[in-house]
Amino acid sequence: MKKHALVLFSGGQDSTTCLAWALHRYDRVETIGFSYGQRHQAELEARPGIIRQLRQMVPAWNRKLGEDHLCDLSLLSQLSETAMTKDIEIQMMENGLPNTFVPGRNLMFLTTAAIVAYRRSINILVGGMCETDFSGYPDCRDDAIKALQVALNTGMDTRLNIVTPLMWKNKQQTWELAEELGGNALVDLIVNQTHTCYTGDHIHLNSWGYGCGKCPACQLRKRGFEAFQKKKTLYQKAEKSAGNAS
């Protein structure tokens, strides 16, 4: 049976890595993105360019890539007041969560994706949720995702499988996975095309990509990239000295 997946694709580092991962693994892959009244449009604007480049990068990926669905979930920004949807300063809340947390966002994304998957006869959802470097967002937890999978399947009489390839990876390992899947070309694409910065800074290009370099999302991405580069340099040095010795 052919495996058909729907990838939650925002235009950021994690979801681009997940998209490449799905293209490597499944027979047919569709993408879904959400416009939810984000403070900035940088991620959404990055999506078409990333898809175009992934198509050019690997001919098999081009053949597998199907429809891209863009859903309007602007209701989310009407319901909640967070630093992701309103122009307010990023800070910690009394409950210990940063105010970049949009309550219910991932649950709403996955539920919406499940509805589209139902229509498209797709039974695999791929999401970039991650419990390792997750700023404490409760809806990134493995248990939350698994519970939602059960709720969706029970409520829709489906056998939907929510797959989260990054769940137990830190940011360094996510860069490593990208390199494994698509070599330097994919790493370069992620550096130059994807957007992660909370403040929407798509002007400053750093070694690890566009961003302000100060917000929590930039810092996480920067630290991960630097650790990834450091490990790569150490490997190259070790290989070189082994080559010299033989």
Residues binding Zn ion (CB under 5 A): 197, 199, 211-212, 215, 218
Closest to Zn ion by CB, 116 vs 212, is: 212
Least distance in Å: CB of 99 to Zn ion?
Answer: 15
Contacts of 108 (CB under 8 A, 6+ apart): 73, 76
The three-state secondary structure class of 206 is strand
Q: Considering the complex, what minimum distance in angstroms separates the CB of residue 203 from Zn ion?
A: 11
Q: Which is nearer to Zn ion, 100 or 199 (CB)?
A: 199
Closest separation in Å from C-beta 78 to Zn ion: 25
Tokens of 236: 């190259």
Q: Which residues contact 95 (CB under 8 A, 6 or more apart)?
A: none
- Residues counted in the chain: 246
Q: Which residue has the tokens 């519970």?
A: 147
| Integer angstrom CA distances of residue 45 from 58, 153, 194, 199, 240 | 22, 32, 10, 15, 41
Report in angstroms how near the CB of residue 84 gets to Zn ion at its nearest.
Answer: 12
Minimum CB separation of residue 30 from Zn ion in Å reads 30
CA-wise closest residue to 32 among 10, 50, 53:
10
- Residue 144's SS3 state is helix
Residue nearer to Zn ion on the CB measure, 165 or 211: 211
> In terms of CB distance, is 181 or 218 closer to Zn ion?
218
Nearer to Zn ion, 105 or 221 (CB): 221
Least spacing, CB of residue 217 vs Zn ion, in Å: 6
In angstroms, rounded to a whole number, what is the distance separating the alpha carbons of residues 4 and 167?
21
- By beta-carbon proximity to Zn ion, the closer residue of 165 and 200 is 200
